[in-house]
Structure 1
Amino acid sequence: MKILIVSDTHGRHQALDRALEEAGKIDMFIHLGDVEGGEDYLEAVVECEKHIIRGNNDFFTELPREEEFEIGPYHAFITHGHYYYVSMGMETIIEEGRSRGADLVMFGHTHRPFFLQKDGMTILNPGSLSFPRQEGRRGSYMIMEVNGDGKLSFEQKYL
């Protein structure tokens, strides 16, 4: 199973289109918030299972604030991250993930890629496709794969 994880597109679709093209065939698409009105666009161009949540800039949307679901044998918790103060550190979101029994915790908001595996939990942020803030300021996304044995792999990608 191949999963494309993105965040913080802020209504701009050029970088998203490029990430979708580079990723090729995907089985699941996860957007971690700050879609800014791009819900209909995502619905039109992404042709697989989708999980899209609202971010702090997603006003007047019906998107959920956060979501929990299964990816193969793994329990995933996705949120934009601002309610868990991710700009200040990872402690609160890690604790929330632990309390929900999550194996995978995914968030956006900071516009910076982040990856940590700790105590059996993977915490990640793919960064921002549209407004990256890390050194080099290249739009970023993540590819996660679950192989036939249920083993996870992650690849941070840059445009």
Structure 2
Amino acid sequence: MKILIVSDTHAKHGNLDYVLEQAGSIDLFIHLGDVEGDEEYLDAVIECEKHIVRGNNDFFSRLPREEEFDIGKYHVFITHGHYYYVSMDVDTIIEEARSRNADIVMFGHTHKPYFSQKDGLTVLNPGSLSYPRQDGRKPSYMVMEIDEEGKAHYEQKYL
């Protein structure tokens, strides 16, 4: 199973279109907020199952603030992250993920890629496809794959 994870596209879909083309066939699409009105566009161009949450710039959006769902044997919690102060540190979002018995928590908001695995919890942020803020400022996203044994593998990618 191949999962494409993006965040913070901010209604600029040039890089997203490129990533979708490069990724090829995907089984699940996850957007971690700040789509800025592109929900209909995403529905039109992405044919697989989608999970999209509302970000701090998604004014008047009907997207959910956060979601929980399962990917294989993994319980996943997704949110944009601003309600959990992710710009300061990841402690609050980790605490929330653990309270929800999540195996994986995904967030955006910081526009910087982040990945850690500790004590049975995977914490990730794919960065931003439109306005990257990390050193080098390369647009970024993640690909998660579930292998035949049901184990998750992650790859941080840059444009």
Q: TM class, shorter-chain normalised?
A: over 0.9
Report the counterpart of residue 100 of structure 1 in structure 2: 100
Report the counterpart of residue 50 of structure 1 in structure 2: 50
Matches within 5 A, 1:2-151: 2-151=2-151
Instruction: Give the TM-score normalised by the residue count of structure 1.
Output: 0.99
Q: CA deviation at 1:22?
A: 1.2
Q: CA deviation at 1:148?
A: 1.4
d(CA) in 1 for partners of 2:131 and 2:96? 27
d(CA) in 2 for partners of 1:30 and 1:60? 20
What's the secondary structure of 1:138's corresponding residue? Answer: coil
d(CA) in 2 for partners of 1:17 and 1:158? 14
d(CA) in 1 for partners of 2:154 and 2:22? 15
Q: CA deviation at 1:139?
A: 0.5
Q: Which runs of 5+ in 2 are unaligned?
A: none
Paired residues in the alignment total 159
What's the secondary structure of 1:111's corresponding residue? Answer: coil
What amino acid maps onto 1:83 in structure 2? Y
Q: Which runs of 5+ in 1 are unaligned?
A: none
Q: CA deviation at 1:52?
A: 0.3
List 4+ stretches of structure 1 deviating above 3 A.
none
Instruction: Give the TM-score normalised by the residue count of structure 2.
Output: 0.99
Q: CA deviation at 1:18?
A: 0.8
What's the secondary structure of 1:47's corresponding residue? Answer: coil
Q: CA deviation at 1:68?
A: 0.1
What amino acid maps onto 1:81 in structure 2? G
